[in-house]
Amino acid sequence: MEKYKIGDICEIVSGSTPKTENKDYWDGDLKWITPAEINEDSYIITDTVRKITSLAVKETNLSLFPEGTVILSSRAPIGKVAIAGCEMYCNQGFKNLICKNKINNKYLYWFLKGNTAFLQSLGRGATFKEISKQIVSNIEINVPDYDRQIEVATHLEKINKIIHLRRQELLKFDDLIKSRFIELFGDPDVNSKGWKECALSEKVNVVGGYAFKSDQF
């Protein structure tokens, strides 16, 4: 298996934020994404909360990245990842990866997804941590042949779907427990069952703890 630096197998592009006070830059039809729009379950992103105009692109010198680009947040926070499902622009909180022929975008997505802690450890800066284009470019990744990349990505997609379904089941179980509690004991905020109320200390002994000083040992 060959190992490459990301900068050797991807073109890295970033973005910026058009002046918010200029109304001619906003509410257009061009998609413009920020890190806040990516969450733990993000995979293929096909729309953005805010849109910009062609004038904003021209005067802010924004770079378009194409469908299939791996979107990587480089600050606030570092390590959010998704794949662009269409052409779009972004703010300065990204270092996005346009894959060349050597690397499959979904394979790269799962590599980054599984290395969030590592990416965050590369952050630099006093006020807030950020990974630069150079840092991202120098990250090394093992690259098997292209068919194997697709096989790995497909396998991880299936696992991720199972995890997502299990999370949904747990949420439903949590809702079930809450509803059963209300059914049995009523709403505790309004005491809908009319239970007798008393201070907790009337029914149990409340015992506090003690923190020893470290120099005592």
Question: Digits of tens for pLDDT over the chain (217 positions)?
Answer: 899 999 999 999 999 999 999 999 999 999 999 999 999 889 999 999 999 999 999 999 999 999 999 999 999 899 999 999 999 999 999 999 999 999 999 999 999 999 999 999 999 998 889 999 999 999 999 999 999 999 999 999 999 888 878 888 888 888 888 888 777 878 878 888 888 888 888 888 878 777 766 665 5
CA distances from 83 to 121, 129, 167, 192 (A): 22, 23, 22, 49
Please, is 58 exposed, middle or buried when counting C-beta atoms within 10 Å of its C-beta (0-12, 13-18, 19+)? exposed
Q: In 10 A of CB 83, how many CB atoms?
A: 20
Helix (H/G/I), strand (E/B), else coil: 7: helix
pLDDT of residue 23: 96
- pLDDT for residue 186: 80
Q: Which residues does 57 contact at the CB level (< 8 Å), separation at least 6?
A: 30, 64, 89
CB 13 within 8 A of CB 89: no
74 vs 21: CA distance, rounded Å: 25
* Omega prior to 77 cis, within 30 of 0: yes
The full set of domain ranges for the chain reads 2-143, 145-189
Supply the pLDDT for residue 19: 96
Considering the domain delimited by 2-143, tell me its CATH architecture.
Alpha-Beta Complex (3.90)
What pLDDT was estimated at residue 5?
97
